[in-house]
Amino acid sequence: MTRTPERNGLSISRLTISGLAVAAVTGWGAYAYSVLSSAQIEQQMSGQTAALREYQSQFLSQRMKAENGAREIAKLQEQLTSARGEIERLAAKHTESEANLAAAREQLASLQEIHAPPALDRAPALRGVTPMPTKQDVISAQKALTDLGFGKLEADGVVGPTTRQAIEEYQRLVGLTVTGELHAQTLQSLMRSAKVVAAQNERAE
């Protein structure tokens, strides 16, 4: 059976329409796929961005903690240095106090050495020592009592109440009979004590 030109043209048109339809479906499918892929990519990008921001926030928080810790350590080190300096200062002061205490003990030992003064018959003669002390004897005794730390006495050669009290304290300390009078034995002991203390002060200087 022979086909007519009209039928041939109709067949070609149908084929063309079919091809266009297939092409249209394929294009829309590709477009839909591309749109879906873009949405997925955007979603993934959003997720990664959020993760990066979270990581950045954690990093900044950790960094802040580390900086605060470093400042705290520096502060503690400064306090430790200050404490060490204070300990060294106290140690030096303690050493100085020990030295002063040793010097005081040495002076006390020297005074105790003359606790029992030699008998008058074996003691070296002292100029001006008489049963009744002269004014110069009293002045010398007042100076010696001041040097030995029994008060700041006025060296006027008069045995007043203050001088008498100082003499009593000295007699009591060295073991002499406490009378408050400047008799020969007390004067001799005072002169020897003053010389010993003066020599010790010269060595210390």
pLDDT digits (tens, 9 = 90+) for 121-148: 444 444 444 467 899 999 999 999 999 9
How distant, in Å, are the alpha carbons of 70, 72, 75, 115, 132 from that of 78? 12, 10, 5, 55, 70
For residue 79, being part of any structural domain is answered with no
For residue 81, being part of any structural domain is answered with no
**CATH code, 124:** 1.10.101.10
What is the percentage of the chain residues whose pLDDT exceeds 90? 23
Residue 38 vs residue 174, higher pLDDT: 174
Residue 77 vs residue 29, higher pLDDT: 77
The predicted pLDDT at position 177 comes to 92
Residue 149 has pLDDT above 50, yes or no: yes
Q: Which of 16-20, 56-60, 94-98, 190-194 has the highest mean pLDDT?
A: 190-194
Q: Structural domain of residue 188, as residue ranges?
A: 114-204
User: Which residue in the block uniquely carries the two structure tokens 């039928």?
Assistant: 7
- What residues have CB less than 8 Å from 181, skipping those under 6 apart? 159, 164, 167
For residue 144, being part of any structural domain is answered with yes
Among 2-16, 19-33, 183-197, the minimum mean pLDDT is found in 2-16
Among residues 46, 156, 9, 173, which one has the least CA distance to residue 190? 173
Q: Which of 79-88, 129-138, 150-159 has the highest mean pLDDT?
A: 150-159
CA–CA gap between residue 105 and residue 7 (Å, rounded): 145
Residue 110: exposed, middle, or buried by beta-carbon count in 10 A (0-12, 13-18, 19+)? middle
For residue 27, being part of any structural domain is answered with no
Specify whether the CB–CB gap between 129 and 187 falls below 8 A. yes
Among 38-42, 177-181, 185-189, the minimum mean pLDDT is found in 38-42
Alpha helix (H) residue ranges in the chain: 5-113, 135-147, 161-174, 184-204
Among residues 168, 141, 145, which one has the least CA distance to residue 157? 141
* Total domains in the fold of the chain: 1
For residue 16, being part of any structural domain is answered with no
For residue 128, being part of any structural domain is answered with yes
For residue 193, being part of any structural domain is answered with yes
- What residues have CB less than 8 Å from 58, skipping those under 6 apart? none
Residue 88 is which amino acid?
Answer: E
The predicted pLDDT at position 64 comes to 85
CB-hemisphere CA count at 13 Å for 145?
A: 29
